[in-house]
Amino acid sequence: MTPRYTDMQLDALRELANIASGTAATSLSQMLGREVDLKVPKAFALPLADAVEAAGDPEEIVSGVALQLEGDLAGIVLLLISASGAATLCSLLGVEVDTEVGESALGEIGNILGASYLAALSSMTGLTMLPSTPMVVSDMLGSIVATVLAETVGHGDTALVLDSQLDITGEPCEISFLLLPNAGGANGLLAPLGLAEAAA
Amino acid sequence: MGELAVSGRAGDEIVAIGLGSCIGLAMIDRDAGVAGLAHVVLPESQGKPGPAGKFADLAIPELVSKMVQAGAVKRRLEAVLIGGARMFSVGASMDIGARNAAAVREALKQAGIRIRTEEVGGNPGRTARIIVGSEISSQLAGGERTSLLTLTATKRVPAPSGR
């Protein structure tokens, strides 16, 4: 069945994402020695096909860094980094983009952003989340997002996505940090906040 | 994801942009000039409802029925598979692509539909494109396009009346 979320539940999820991505932005800023802008996150629950569109232009070539989550909250953390963003990040870290080292640097950024985001989320909800090692791929945004959604949404038909946008001040560098809980996973985030579970 | 579309109008484009682990299942009756595309996301419905093209086990019968409604003849149907990638090569999970491809092949076999060609597996995402009456192609990120099948009629057939 399709879970439905109330506005209050989506607001609460957005606030969780806001605090968690604030922590992640601080870690990124420390790692790169640059100021990081954080936009107000979005939380959306959409049919599968619309969720891909909401994530961006499906034909844009981006770098995707995925961390699979296990523990109290199953799901996937996905970073989508624009091509210019990948080049900027690699240059700030002193490695060449589109090389094995460059790829591993992007994976490391995924690790650090993911770890700090999840630590903040964990301290707010009491949930334990264990991220896998990062998987890095460069391809069409649509292919990356659809593959991740097939995994997290599975037989459900609503995709829940918490989308935080991090930008490096003064650089052409856009990073989307997406948390995609598995079907039913949002209940685990909402329950500790005293909000009723999503209606099945 | 999960959509399904059929057209019998020459020149129409049916496109599934950015297939990762999903399969773009193209079906054609070249003599009737009818083509269809299903965006298959998962191998089995397991009794769950969903959009017409989402699950391989339901998508094939649905696509066949829509093709026949549009004037295709079942015994002339041919299929082309595009997608089914393993985008993330590390990690035990996330190989839905191979399972999708296997499920689509099996469902086609059960329906008695021949697979003409495949562009399936490996790491890259693909865009599946049918130009009705013209060709089926697969496109990689950045635009490199491979023509997989030309869709000219194999023999002359009278045009369907009333269309």
Confidence of residue A185 (pLDDT cuts 50, 70, 90): confident
CB pairs under 8 A between A and B: 109
Which stretch of A63-72, A154-163, B34-43 has the lowest confidence by average pLDDT? Answer: A154-163
* pLDDT at position B48: 87
* pLDDT at position A107: 96
Confidence of residue B95 (pLDDT cuts 50, 70, 90): confident
Non-local (6+) Cβ contacts of B54 within 8 A are A48, B1, B2, B39, B40, B41, B42, B45
Task: Reply yes or no on whether the pLDDT at B92 is more than 70.
Answer: no
Confidence of residue A49 (pLDDT cuts 50, 70, 90): confident
Amino acid at A13: L
d(CA A113, CA B161): 62
Amino acid at A90: C
d(CA B117, CA B114): 9
Neighbours of B143 (CB within 10 A): 9
d(CA A17, CA B47): 34
Four-CA torsion A136, B138, B86, B89, nearest 10 degrees: -40
* pLDDT at position B160: 66
Return mean pLDDT, chain A. Answer: 91
Question: Residues B122-133: what's their mean pLDDT?
Answer: 96
By the 10 Å C-beta count (0-12 exposed, 13-18 middle, 19+ buried), A50 is classed as: middle
Cβ atoms of residues A149 and A159 within 8 Å: yes
The minimal CB distance from B1 to the residues A52, A138, A140 is found for A52
Contacts of A133 in chain B (CB under 8 A): 90-91
Question: Residues A84-94: what's their mean pLDDT?
Answer: 95
Task: Reply yes or no on whether the pLDDT at A85 is more than 50.
Answer: yes
Fold type of domain B4-150: 60s Ribosomal Protein L30; Chain: A; (3.30.1330)
Q: Is A179 on the interface with B (CB under 8 A)?
A: no
Domain ranges of chain A: 7-191
Confidence of residue A2 (pLDDT cuts 50, 70, 90): low
Minimum Cα–Cα distance from B128: chain A residue: A143
Q: Do A147 and B1 touch (CB under 8 A)?
A: no
Q: Please list the alpha-helical segments (H only) found in chain B.
A: 56-69, 96-111
Non-local (6+) Cβ contacts of B65 within 8 A are none
User: Which one of the listed residues B5, B6, B19, B22 is annotated catalytic?
Assistant: B22
Q: Do B18 and A150 touch (CB under 8 A)?
A: no
Q: Work out the end-to-end distance of chain A between its first and last CA atoms, rounded to an integer number of angstroms.
A: 6
| DSSP letter assigned to residue B51 | -
Fold type of domain A7-191: Chemotaxis protein chec (3.40.1550)
What percent of chain B has pLDDT above 90?
83
Q: Is B121 on the interface with A (CB under 8 A)?
A: no
**What's the gap in Å between the CA of B58 and the closest CA on chain A?**
13
Question: Residues B16-24: what's their mean pLDDT?
Answer: 96
* pLDDT at position A187: 81
3-class secondary structure, A139:
strand
d(CA B150, CA B160): 21
Q: Do A155 and B126 touch (CB under 8 A)?
A: no
Task: Reply yes or no on whether the pLDDT at B53 is more than 80.
Answer: yes
* pLDDT at position A48: 87
Confidence of residue B163 (pLDDT cuts 50, 70, 90): very low
Cβ atoms of residues B90 and A133 within 8 Å: yes
B22 is catalytic: yes
What percent of chain B has pLDDT above 70?
91
| DSSP letter assigned to residue B77 | -
Q: Is A147 on the interface with B (CB under 8 A)?
A: yes
Task: Write out pLDDT tens, residues A9-18.
Answer: 999 999 999 9
Amino acid at B32: A
* pLDDT at position B98: 94
Return mean pLDDT, chain B. Answer: 92
Q: What is the ipTM of this complex?
A: 0.88
Question: Residues B52-74: what's their mean pLDDT?
Answer: 97
* pLDDT at position A197: 62
Domain ranges of chain B: 4-150
Q: Do A135 and B88 touch (CB under 8 A)?
A: yes
d(CA B80, CA A162): 36
Minimum Cα–Cα distance from A144: chain B residue: B20
Which stretch of A46-50, B11-15, B133-137 has the lowest confidence by average pLDDT? Answer: A46-50
Give the pairing type, strands A75-82 and A174-181. Answer: antiparallel
Query: Which one has a higher pLDDT value, A190 or B58?
Result: B58
Task: Reply yes or no on whether the pLDDT at A82 is more than 70.
Answer: yes
Q: Is A57 left (phi over 0), alpha (psi -120 to 50) or beta?
A: beta
**Cα A18 to the center of its chain, rounded Å:** 12
Amino acid at A65: V
Q: Do B87 and A144 touch (CB under 8 A)?
A: yes
Task: Reply yes or no on whether the pLDDT at B111 is more than 60.
Answer: yes
Task: Write out pLDDT tens, residues A122-174.
Answer: 999 999 999 999 999 999 999 999 999 999 998 888 899 999 999 999 988 98
* pLDDT at position A196: 65
d(CA A183, CA A163): 17
* pLDDT at position B159: 64
